[in-house]
Structure formats: structure tokens, C-alpha cells
Amino acid sequence: MLLVKKMNKVRIGVLMDSVFCPVYMFETISGLANELSIELYLLQNKSQKKGRLTKIREIIAHTGFLKSIDIAFFIIVTSFEERIVKALGYQRGRFSDKELEEYKFKKTIIVNPLFSKTQISEIPGLVTYDEEDVKKIKALNLDFIMIGNGSGIYTGEILKSSKHGIISLHHGDNRWNRGWPPGFWEVYYKRPSTGFSIQILNEKHDDGDVLFRGEINTFPLFILNQAQLYEYSYPFLKQVIIDFAKTGILPKKLQDAPFSYQILEVPKCTVTGAYFITTCLKFVASLLERKVLHRDMRWSVAFILTDWTTANLSKAMVITSPKGRFLADPFVIRYDDQSVIFVEDFHYSTDRGAISAIRLREDGSYEILPDVIKEEFHLSFPYIFNYKNELYMIPESNQSKTIRLYKCIHFPDIWEYQYNIMQDVSALDTLVFEHAGKWWLLSNIVPKDLENHGSQLLAFTADNPLSKDWQPHRKNPICLSAELARNGGILRDQAGDLYRVRQKQGFHRYGVAFTIAKIKRLDIDNFEEETYCEVVPKFFPDLSGTHHMHCDQGITVFDFVKEETIL
């Protein structure tokens, strides 16, 4: 007779005001409920049924009359912004709610949140529970309490009512942003990235024990920046809990540091008004530039016949982009007595890129061979590599939700699709290379429904670059940074050491510069890189950015962007 040892499940309480919750929260909680090693318990806050007039009176009592005006104006402006976004049909699903089914929870208990008054606390919205409710929660023998859509700042005995406390998402980089509203101040201050942290709450309120930090590229519209912040951060909270269920280990607490900023609050009417007017003016100006003046950012590529370590980019030869197109993401290779640059060849008329080749001649001139790889979806970032004296390419093909492999049949103009080395994946800017006897794949991958690829880098390893079985790095994502994660090329120095080109993003500006980092350590358990230098767009006049570099056998290629008339 075979005896099977019963697995002890991790017991998670979920604090909710309502079982109707945004899609991103629904998917996180549903994902946890589907884990065999996890049991969920619904801690349902008793409904506070109050009339609109009563709520207004309470807000005024908590915050004062002037602050209430600030709150009301902010709600009006952002509600209008949300309606415009919905009317345009842009990411409509982000603003819908779904109902959590009762069967997802092992048990439901009703608890009564007690909200503080202004006169007993300087922080409005502090929430406690009476002794009876805390006893009910403790009786569940929970490992964690997770904040769902439960409102308020939790304090008192509720913080100690589970083995490991309350785990929560703070939607802001708490090294500078503590307060409210999530995702607004990064837009207002034009910060390139918007951060979030996963923390265990304590009585310090805005200063919990931080276990994990991440960030996204800031979107210039508050309501969408907030939406993508929520969407992007919740999967990380889910993963921390799942990893704990598997290992019993939490991430190590991150190091504390002095906090030297003011606690952020609902913006004053003047700030909200300035944000709204500035946003409207920028939208109108952008519309005029593109639709009336036909001006836009246009990428170009250049090359110089020297190794990247000694290249003077200002002396490079520019390859003129054909009319109605731009060229970007260059990779160069010397093969079969030819020197050829492969580029993204973007057509403004179709809003789609293909892969073109540029053959360099001995006299310094060049020939463009258009569309050597063309699909019904966008292609870019034509990463090329040699394996057993055969050439292969992995262009960016995110619109197909695959990472595709092509083989060169006739160099440089005939390529044949082989197969997908990964599928059902949202990936940009994939690199494949050999390092320390293993093949590695680095790619900017996010969950399929998300669009913010610029702040997360994942690594995989296999025995050969043609494999369909790539094993994930044990510390994926190996880089979480809006300034460091996005790939912009790969380089080797004369000693054979490996360097990764890292795109640097600005506020609502793609590819403002790039850094080059030496890969110091890469194995299945570790990834370390060290910044070697930064390349800024000063090598030609009137540039707005640069984000890519590659080199092969003494030929260095790179790209740059400037605002031009597009006709």
C-alpha cells in the first residue's frame, strides 16, 4: 500500500471590501486559488452603507473643507480623463470589474473595520478591528493576510493576527514616494519610471519591511499610468506568495535608508489644473505636429570601420533612410567575404517594420536590399548569430506572440523561417549567445496582455541556440529597471569579454541614450553586470536619442533619432 503524505497548505487571508474587483486583482486572486499548495480565506469587510451626503460630511470632517475641495476637483478631472480614454476604446478592459466566486475561498468571515477620526490620528483612514474580529482571524491560523481591495491603512492587532503579518503592494517607489494617489506624481514630475514595492506592514504605516521593488516606464497620462502600474505589479505579488508556498522562504528584507521627502497627498486644485491643462496642450501639439506638420521622430543608422571600444561616433557614415521609412536596430556581420548590416526597415504607410540588409562596398558606399524578411506582422531588432558555420536570425516578432528562428539560405537576402523557439510569449529584443560553455537567451518578456517591456529582463539557458527547450534562470527577472533592463545590442571586446547594451528611457521618450555594461557573472543562479560607459546623443547635431550598438570584426554600427518631417 502506497502512503501519500498530506501536504500542508499555505493559508492566506484576503482582505476585501467587495468581491467585485478590477481584472488585475481578480486574476491575481484567482491564480492563487488555483495553486494546490495555497488555501484562500476571504476576510470580508462589513459594508459601510452610507448616503452620499453622509460620505461628503465625513470627508470634510476627516480632511477639512479646503482639502475636500482638492479631492473633489481631482476626482472630477481624473474621471473625465478616464471617460475620454474609454471613449477612445483604448485598453478598455483595464477599467472593468469582475466578481470573485465564493468557491475560490475555503471560508468567508465578516469583519467590521473601524476607521479613525482626524482628532485621534494625524493620518486619516487608519483601520483597526475590535478584539472579537481579531480573534476570529487568528482562529484561521493564517500564514499571511493579503490586502485585496480592502481600504485604509491597517494598524493595531490586525498586523499580528497571522504568522507572517500583512503583505501588501505599495504603488510607488517608497524611497521617495509615500502617499497618494498611485501613479500621479511620477507623471506630474515627469519621472522616467514609476515604482512599486511589496512589503510586510508594520505600525510605521508608510514604512513597511520592503521585500521587493520593481518599476515600469511612466506613461504620460495619469489614468493609464496608474492602470499599467496595477496590472504590472500584481503578478509579482502573486509570485512572491507562490514562491513562499513552495519554499517556506520570503525574500530577504531590503536595506532601510533615511527618507528625505515629504509625504505626498492628493494634489491641490492648482496642481491638478496645471496637470490637466498641460496634458491637453501636449495632446493638441502632438496632433498638430503629426497630422498637420507631418513631423515625427525618425530613426537612422550609421557605421564606422573601427572596433566599438575605440569608435569616434561623430566620424561615422550615416546611411540615408529611404523616403517614407526609417532604419533602426542595426546588427552587422562579416560573412562569405561580405560585410552586411541588418536593420529594422519601418514603413510609415503600413505602420509596420520588415528586415532589410545593407551591403557595404569596399569604396565606402552601400546598397540597401529591402525586405529580406517580411511578414504580416511587425519585425525589428534583427539579431543574427553564427552556429556551426550557419547563419541564424531571431528578429523581434512580438505581434505574433512568438520568438521566431530564421535560417539564412543565401547570404544575405534569402532567409527561411524554421520554427518558434518560444510561443505564447510577449517578448522584445531577444539576444542569444554562448557564455561559459552554455547558450543563453536574454529577452524583455512580460505577461502577454501587458505592453511595458522596457523594465524587465529575463534569462534562459539551453545546450544549443536552436533549442526549443530553454530553461528559465532561477532568479528571473534578472533585471527590473526602466533604465537598465531593455536590450540594445551585444558586444565583445578584444579579450572576448561580453557586454550588454542597455537602452535608457526618458519621460515618455524612447531610447534617449544607452549604457554599456560588462557581464561579470552569468550562471543559472546568478547575473551580475557592471556599467562600462554611457553613450549620449551628442555625436551629430540636433539628436533626440540613441539606443543601439553592435560590432563585428572591426565594423561598428549604431542608430540615432531626430525630429524630422515625414513625407
Q: Are residues 244 and 340 in the same domain?
A: no
Domain range for 384 is 294-565
- Which residue matches cell numbers 514604512? 207
313 and 237 inside one domain: no
- Any domain includes 51: yes
pLDDT at 6: 44
Q: Match 460630511 to its residue by C-alpha cell.
A: 57
Task: Report yes or no on 112 lying in a domain.
Answer: yes
Residue 162, C-beta contacts closer than 8 angstroms, at least 6 positions apart: 13, 137, 138, 142, 143, 144, 145
Residues 121 and 231 in one domain: yes
Residues 182, 221 within the same domain: yes
Q: Which DSSP symbol is given to 473? A: P
C-alpha cell at 543: 539628436
Instruction: With 0.95 as the threshold, say if the pTM is over it.
Output: no
Same domain, 317 and 270: no
In-domain check, residue 2: no
Q: Looking at 252, 286, 320, which one is the last position of a domain?
A: 286
Q: How far apart are CA 487 and CA 500, in angstroms?
A: 7
Report the CATH number that the domain containing residue 247 is assigned in CATH. Answer: 3.40.50.170
* b/e per residue 33-68 (b: at least 16 CB within 10 A): bebeebbbbbbbbeeeeeeeeeeeebbeebbeeebb
Domain annotation covers residue 394: yes
- Total of domains in the chain: 2
Within a domain: 89: yes
Check whether residue 263 and residue 370 sit in a common domain.
no
Same domain as 552, residue 462: yes
| pLDDT at residue number 421 | 96
Does residue 5 sit within a domain?
no
| Domain stops at, among 286, 310, 336 | 286
Does the residue 46 lie in any domain?
Answer: yes
> Residue holding cell 509570485?
239
- Tell me the CATH number at 524: 2.115.10.20
Please tell me whether residues 418 and 387 are part of one structural domain: yes
Which of 259, 286, 313 lies at the terminal end of a domain, its last residue?
286
Per-residue pLDDT of the chain (567 residues; tens, 9 = 90+): 333 334 589 999 999 999 999 989 999 999 999 999 999 999 999 876 655 555 556 666 566 778 889 888 999 999 999 888 887 776 655 677 899 998 899 999 999 988 775 433 334 478 899 999 999 999 999 999 999 998 888 889 999 999 999 999 999 999 999 888 999 999 999 999 999 999 999 888 777 899 999 999 999 999 999 999 999 999 999 999 999 999 998 999 998 888 899 989 899 999 999 999 999 999 888 888 888 888 888 999 999 999 999 999 999 999 999 999 999 999 999 999 999 999 999 999 999 999 999 999 988 899 999 999 999 999 999 999 999 999 999 999 999 999 999 999 999 999 999 999 999 999 999 999 999 899 999 999 987 666 777 789 999 999 999 999 999 999 999 999 988 999 999 999 999 999 999 999 998 888 999 999 999 999 999 999 999 999 999 999 999 999 999 999 999 999 999 998 887
Same domain, 241 and 386: no
* Residues 280 and 307 occupy one common structural domain: no
Give the pLDDT confidence score for residue 497 in this predicted structure: 96
pLDDT given at position 63: 65
Q: At a CB cut-off of 8 Å and minimum separation 6, what does 491 contact?
A: 308, 498, 499, 500, 501, 516, 549, 550, 551
**DSSP secondary structure, 304-324, as one string:** ESS-GGG--GGGPEEEPPPTT
Q: Are 225 and 323 in a shared domain? A: no
Judge whether 4 lies within some domain.
Answer: no
403 and 536 housed in the same domain = yes
List the grid coordinates of 142: 493564517
